[in-house]
Structure 1
Amino acid sequence: MIHWNFLSSLVIFLSLTDGYLNLGDTEILNEVYYQPEQVHLSYGARPDQMVVTWVTMSPVPESVVEYGIDKIDSNVSGTSSIFVDGGFLRRNMTVHRVVLEKLIPGKSYKYHCGSPKYGWSDIFYFTAMPDGTKWSPRFAIFGDLGNENAQSLPRLQDETMLGFYDAILHVGDFAYDMATDNARVGDAFLNQIQPIAAYVPYMTCPGNHEWHYNFSNYVNKFSMPNGDGTKFGGDNNLFYSINIGPVHIISFSTELYYFINYGLKQIVNQYKWIEEDLRIANLPENRAMRPWIITMGHRPMYCTNADKDDCTKFDDRVRNGMPFVKTFGLEELFYKNGVDVELWAHEHSYERLWPIYNYQVLNGSYEKPYTNPKAPIHIVTGSAGCKEDHDGFGPQKDYCAFRANDYGYTRMQAFNNTHLYFEQVSDEKDGKVIDSFWIVKDNHTSYL
């Protein structure tokens, strides 16, 4: 006869572990594993920087990157920290960060990471950011990529190896979820993207699926830059900006507007930071060098999906601000500061909007809506593939220019100060480009 206390304990255990019972957990916790894994790159705050981040499952006291152009002949040491996941098992791992500096612009480097005593990763390579603003950066952009049903991942891996991209912009929602199964799903996901992220900078923003334990897996595993290139990771992962060629990218957290149980102060801090960042980006000398201002945040202001997400409602929090008080909304701030493009995800579909402000379409002209548009252009690209499949659409709206719920991702290239090109790739249609358009702007300034 099974004792009632045992059954009660088992029910509690299963509830705490999301119903996941692994009888091998004791052996896993005792396993010794020093090999570097989950290797990924990110740009630093300065063009001469590249940040290498990796994980070891057992504590390794050294964090070293050996690198070079023709041969591996230089080395730099960095820092490490113990990350303890908030799940039932309290799994811990060591996160390593090394900042490479004084890189030669546009040069390709070989590197590996690890420790001369405990072991090295495979050899990878990357290209340092080209100098100045007179080059044409190429991006892959997507959100909502999971460990399971990562439909677009093989094609993105292929294209990265073929040199399609200078950087990746992952617009929130990783792994589904990074914290699932005591963070093992997050570990598996970061190993899945290693064939991309170990070769080109993988720039991120948080989504709602990173919420567990106050976004701790996301905050600890990635290494986004602060303003002066002296600190990486931590709260910098929530909001930051970076200059890439003629583009100024602002990454921020829409989730601060929804997970207010973690505090309201961060909403205020982020809003003030964005306000100041936009002020500096719009100084005449800065806007002349980097005229394209592009934002990336997870939850859209607008969408036409057949669900009850905020972007289907007029009172969207990110757009209008917090309920009732209507403060810290971002649409007016972006409009006033002449943001050119707003990148979003969250909806498991692709949608391109006409230039829009406050639900009013403000095309450049009837014949050429994206030539000198009178408001920002919104792109929702959350269909990279995850276990939650597609999101369907509701009725067509007049502000929607094109939409599709094929699995896929977006490509963007800033050709120069006046021409920005986008195309949407359908993985379901074997890589076919199902949408493409140019944005042409003679002047980049406030829309007021």
Structure 2
Amino acid sequence: MRKRSCTKQLICVCNVKMVPVHAACALFSLTPLLVLGVPPIWTQPEQVHLAYPGEPGSMVVTWTTFSKTESKVEYGILGGQFFEMTTKGNTTLFVDSGEEKRKLYIHRVILTGLKPAVNYVYHCGSDEGWSDVFYFTALNDSTSFSPRFALYGDLGNENPQSLARLQKDTQLGMYDVILHIGDFAYDMHEDNARIGDEFMRQIQSIAAYVPYMTCPGNHEATYNFSNYRNRFSMPGQTESLWYSWNLGSAHIISLSTEVYFYLEFGLELLFKQYEWLKKDLEEANKPENRAVRPWIITMGHRPMYCSDDDQDDCTKFDSYVRLGRKDTKPPAPGLEDLFYRYGVDLELWAHEHTYERLWPVYADKVYNGSKEQPYVNPKAPVHIVTGSAGCREKTDSFNPNPKEWSAFRSTDYGYTRMKVFNTTHIYLEQISDDQYGKVIDSIWVVKEKHGFSAWF
């Protein structure tokens, strides 16, 4: 049998009619146009994450879709009937300020009436699309509860070196709360906020299971922190910029250090936060409140003290956050004196891509409890800088001649763990991801007395 020549005009069959190949190609060339003519339907939930709204027995579930849908969470007690309870929430349209003006629909549902320390399973979305099934443990609202935290800053979409270890830790049930102390994704606004989307997908494997509590950093500043303010759901009414909450024997304050640097977004924010901090600390120091929650812990992105060789805030000028700014009208007050006056015990920072533990310090001077036991009844706040989780800017180097308040330093990638055991003891340890999860530093902070009078 003679083979057909490959040079003959090819034909295809369509509705039993023979169509020349050039006509078929012309038809197929229109296919992308026909497809693009129909708007895509993006109703599938993604970027699921939890936060604690601050009220006992509650949890807020936040997620994103790219088309408008209902906002529902179906949930139930683990071991019981799945999804026997349903709570509805609200949807906020977030239009990114990039060239494409991409639209994201941010969904928030607050679950209430949760039983303390009970495990729940849930999924979120609507009948147009549901998320995977996740689970969480409702926070124990007892003041004798001993919460466990992972804390870090400066975790990026590119080079998120500590992420896998944090994911495994979370899956092992090691944490009750995550504290992310500023700088997300590097940067959430990039590629018309697609980098923000990708980062939120990355942390879903942590943040969909435990409350992911945040504060803003300098890498969130673009478009007046709009990606940060829209994507996260922290307590209070300040779009997650500053807030406080209670857990166990601790009162935890999250603040924005960036109000000292981005004055173009309003100098009034700096003074508004300062007044809020003062009132919050006054309330936390009322005898009846400090008796049950004696620990006051703050978290903010840019540290008051650091010894990195960054040719910036660690080397060229004293911290605005610590001492304030004299170049504003009126002069902007710093936070060190305020925190000292109200007996803040522990201050958590990031920004520098390193880990640094300080001796108890105030006004640039060391005030150890004693030479043998510096963190037992210290005479000043304890500072921890933990900004080495992993980002595209890599880790930083240190000044070879730090001041006397610098106690321990590491340039390893890693993160910090903290456990508030009771009213007198807090334990902190630094995990090196470079050294396969090794604990490279640890301290106990022990205080028999809290408040301003504890310094004397």
TM-score (norm 1): 0.91
Is 1:409 the counterpart of 2:415 in the alignment? yes
> 1:217-256 to 2 correspondence within 5 Å?
217-226=227-236, 235-256=238-259
More displaced stretch, 301-310 vs 429-438: 301-310
Is 1:92 the counterpart of 2:103 in the alignment? yes
Q: Aligned AA for 1:67?
A: Y
More displaced stretch, 392-401 vs 198-207: 392-401
1:63 deviates by 0.3
Q: Aligned AA for 2:412?
A: D
Equivalent residue number for residue 199 of structure 1: 209
Distance (whole Å) between structure 2 residues aligned to residue 365 and residue 445 of structure 1: 18
Identical-pair percentage: 60
Equivalent residue number for residue 154 of structure 2: 144
Equivalent residue number for residue 287 of structure 2: 284
Question: Given that residues 347 and 380 in structure 1 are in contact (C-alpha distance below 8 angstroms), is that contact kept between their aligned partners in structure 2?
Answer: yes
With over 3 angstroms needed to count, the CA separation of the structure-2 counterparts of 1:415 and 1:88, relative to structure 1, is same
Q: Can you give the 5+ residue segments of structure 2 that lack an aligned partner in the other structure?
A: 1-32
Q: Aligned AA for 2:182?
A: G
Is 1:266 the counterpart of 2:283 in the alignment? no
- Moved segments of 4+, more than 6 Å: none
Distance (whole Å) between structure 1 residues aligned to residue 434 and residue 73 of structure 2: 38
1:418-448 deviations in Å (ceiling 9; x for gaps): 0000000000000000000100000001137
Distance (whole Å) between structure 2 residues aligned to residue 29 and residue 54 of structure 1: 25
1:17-75 deviations in Å (ceiling 9; x for gaps): xxxxxxx9x96994321100000000012111100000001121x10000110222000
SS at match of 1:367: coil
> 1:280-429 to 2 correspondence within 5 Å?
280-313=283-316, 315-324=318-327, 326-394=331-399, 395-429=401-435
1:137 deviates by 0.2
Distance (whole Å) between structure 2 residues aligned to residue 30 and residue 358 of structure 1: 60
Q: Aligned AA for 2:73?
A: V
Q: Aligned AA for 2:222?
A: H
Question: Given that residues 299 and 311 in structure 1 are in contact (C-alpha distance below 8 angstroms), is that contact kept between their aligned partners in structure 2?
Answer: no
SS at match of 1:193: helix
SS at match of 2:283: helix
TM-score (norm 2): 0.89
1:327 deviates by 2.8
Distance (whole Å) between structure 2 residues aligned to residue 279 and residue 131 of structure 1: 22
Larger radius of gyration: 2
Question: Given that residues 183 and 217 in structure 2 are in contact (C-alpha distance below 8 angstroms), is that contact kept between their aligned partners in structure 1?
Answer: yes
1:252-295 deviations in Å (ceiling 9; x for gaps): 00001101011111101100000000000000111111111000
Q: Aligned AA for 1:221?
A: R
1:225 deviates by 0.8
With over 3 angstroms needed to count, the CA separation of the structure-2 counterparts of 1:248 and 1:87, relative to structure 1, is same
1:119 deviates by 1.1
Q: Give the one of 31, 44, 67 matched to 1:35.
A: 44
More displaced stretch, 323-332 vs 171-180: 323-332
Question: Given that residues 48 and 62 in structure 2 are in contact (C-alpha distance below 8 angstroms), is that contact kept between their aligned partners in structure 1?
Answer: yes
Number of aligned positions between the proteins: 416
With over 3 angstroms needed to count, the CA separation of the structure-2 counterparts of 1:194 and 1:29, relative to structure 1, is farther
Question: Given that residues 29 and 91 in structure 1 are in contact (C-alpha distance below 8 angstroms), is that contact kept between their aligned partners in structure 2?
Answer: no
1:245 deviates by 0.7
SS at match of 1:186: helix
Question: Given that residues 302 and 312 in structure 1 are in contact (C-alpha distance below 8 angstroms), is that contact kept between their aligned partners in structure 2?
Answer: no
SS at match of 2:192: coil
Q: Aligned AA for 1:338?
A: G
Distance (whole Å) between structure 2 residues aligned to residue 131 and residue 256 of structure 1: 32
Distance (whole Å) between structure 2 residues aligned to residue 262 and residue 359 of structure 1: 30
Question: Given that residues 407 and 427 in structure 1 are in contact (C-alpha distance below 8 angstroms), is that contact kept between their aligned partners in structure 2?
Answer: yes
Q: Aligned AA for 1:181?
A: D
Equivalent residue number for residue 164 of structure 2: 154
